[in-house]
Structure 1
Amino acid sequence: MRKLNEDGNTLVMVLLTATLIMISGTALTSQALTGTKQVKQTEGQQIATDAAEMGIDHFYSEVKKGAIALDLSTNTCTQVQNAALAVPTPKVTIVSNTATPIEYTVDSTTGTSYAITVDSVPCTKVDETKYTFSFYSTGTTLENGNKISKTLTATFPIQLNNKFPEKPPGFTECYNDSSCLNVSKDKDTYTYLKDTYFPTGLELTEKVTTIAQSVYIEGDLQIKGYNNLEGELIINKDLFVNGDSEFNNFANTIVYGDYYLSGQFVGTNHAEVVVKEDAFFYDDITQKPHTFVCVEDDLTVTQKTLDSNVITLFPEGMTTCEQVESHFSKKENGGNGTEANGIFAKRVSVFNSSSNVSINDNELEIIY
């Protein structure tokens, strides 16, 4: 009887072991099949992504080629959009259109292709010399009869190099009079409350403080002080001078935004011009002005200006014009003991002379 029980127990153990092996084998097979499916899905998505990247490379190079060939100093966004729409292959489709985006075959055996689309307004103005352009590339492939797609967003900046910027929109036109001014009660402060456009130049001769927002001057800027250290011009945003700038007799100017100058510093004498952000000098400046011109960020000039050695870089560790002026006014540092003269900047770069537009490949951004 004991023998039969032992044989029965052995049979039960064998059956249990066989069952466990079968269950385990089934689970492993299921996992293997699932894993294979996941790999195939990943491969399909990767193929679609690769196709979208191929579309970006192709379309970007064509838009870049077309944009650089244009004069983009006016209506920049419109011209870039036209350059994009003019690309023959791959042809772009505007998202708001009802037309189906044109697909370009990458691999006919796998049904892989890409299509390029743009928004109705794909270009955005960043500042007076910089714009960004965006577009979409959708890669598509077939896997087991199923369509798999991946859309990427590409953005790249367009930098205007050596063209004086056009007048921004929204400026109030004003002539060289007091009609646009808000005068303080004691008449020692004149304020332009809005962004102001002067179509015939601007001449300031009063011993007052003039405060403005952004100012665009078509013609010359003349500030003629009267040995009055309290008199100054304060620009809260940007200053555009499409002509010469003249600062005389302790006439002090501070620009909290960017300073654009198409002409020369004329007759400058014992004055200060401080720019808190960037400055762009489009003309060849070959002689140091007899005043303190200081740019606390980037200064962009012509190659001839740079070669004329009229610009002095900030000493290491200095970040403000106040520090620089104090340093270079000292006799042991080349000053006369009372003031510093010349053009000073934290950094200096040169306009690209071969084109009025630069598009840097390193700045192409792709969002997955």
Structure 2
Amino acid sequence: MIFSSVQSNLGLAFNHKKNSLGFLRFLFAVLVVLQHSYILGNFGNEPLLSLSKGQLSSGSLAVHAFFIISGFLITRSYISNPNIWRYSWHRILRIFPGFWVCLLVTSFVIAPIAYINVHGNTSGYFLTSDSPFSYVFSNLFLSIKQSDIAGLMASHPEKSLNGSLWTLEWEFFLYIAIAILGSLSILTKFRWIVLAIFIVLLLTYLLDSCHCRIILLYWTSNRVPPLLVLFFSGAVFWLYREKVYWNSIIFVSLVLVTSVAIYLNLYTWVEPLTLPYIILWLSINLPLSNFDKHSDYSYGIYIYSFPIQQLLVQFNLDEFGVGFYFMLSLLLTMPLAILSWHFFEKPALQFKNKKNNSINYFVSKVKK
């Protein structure tokens, strides 16, 4: 049953082998494509942004949900296998191979097509100061220091070849944060410290008039602080899972509270408290646990859709309307996401548990 009033707790309700998180990640990746369709195609505000009076968009909802899920699962991952080297190796395998291949595909497949469309050939493409080679090497470690190649995006509403990649640096930063907390035994023996970190991040985020400082000290984009808050909300949900009451009445109540908050222009104040429960409830109760049994294309959709959408704008295919542009973006992104998973992401993940791989060798040496 999807809805049940039977009282339980999150620890008992969540089954890490049988849940709908794979479906939700896929859905959220598609929502990012939808949001970017409106931005990159210059179609104005997308429906959810207009409906929420600017408080919430499909893209921000998706990215925020990604960080909630990540905080929840990554914390669980470290506690389940509390070895900092193996944990780090697993996180590297999940992020970097697909990311590096995306940089190469963008530089040497997608961007050259856009360049030929403008110049008629590739003459000069490899010799510009913002060359494809510098694009790859400048962005190699997730921090996007070069956003364009050969000035191709200069006339676009968004000046970046791949504006989705900015979140990956913060995602990996939070992976490191969990590794540090785990290595200090905070995740297991002093979990209240994680709760305190969440509360401090939440309060300073809410009290900051521009929402653009971390703990009221470090200036950054106003897109960043909520990611930290929501990641740690997911971590807190896992650490205190046996204390989180779990039933449909709470879920429905939180949906109503969120809806009222949006109506009253208070969504920012309730999101970190209601959205984690809503997302995790859906992951447990939606009957779609086999959705990602054989594949997970969400990461590929997320990292490839933006350059594909920019390419479509380059060919003026956004002129056929937002619906056509959105569907064509998905249609052309999916093959890349499929190839990314089957030929790069999945093979890389197979090294996670290899008995003779280099990281296990290194771990064994450290233990000695």
TM-score normalised by the shorter chain: which range applies? under 0.3
Larger Cα Rg: Structure 1 or Structure 2?
1
- Which structure has greater helix proportion? 2
Higher relative contact order, chain-length normalized (CA < 8 Å, sep 6+) = 2
TM-score computed with the length of structure 2 as normaliser? 0.27
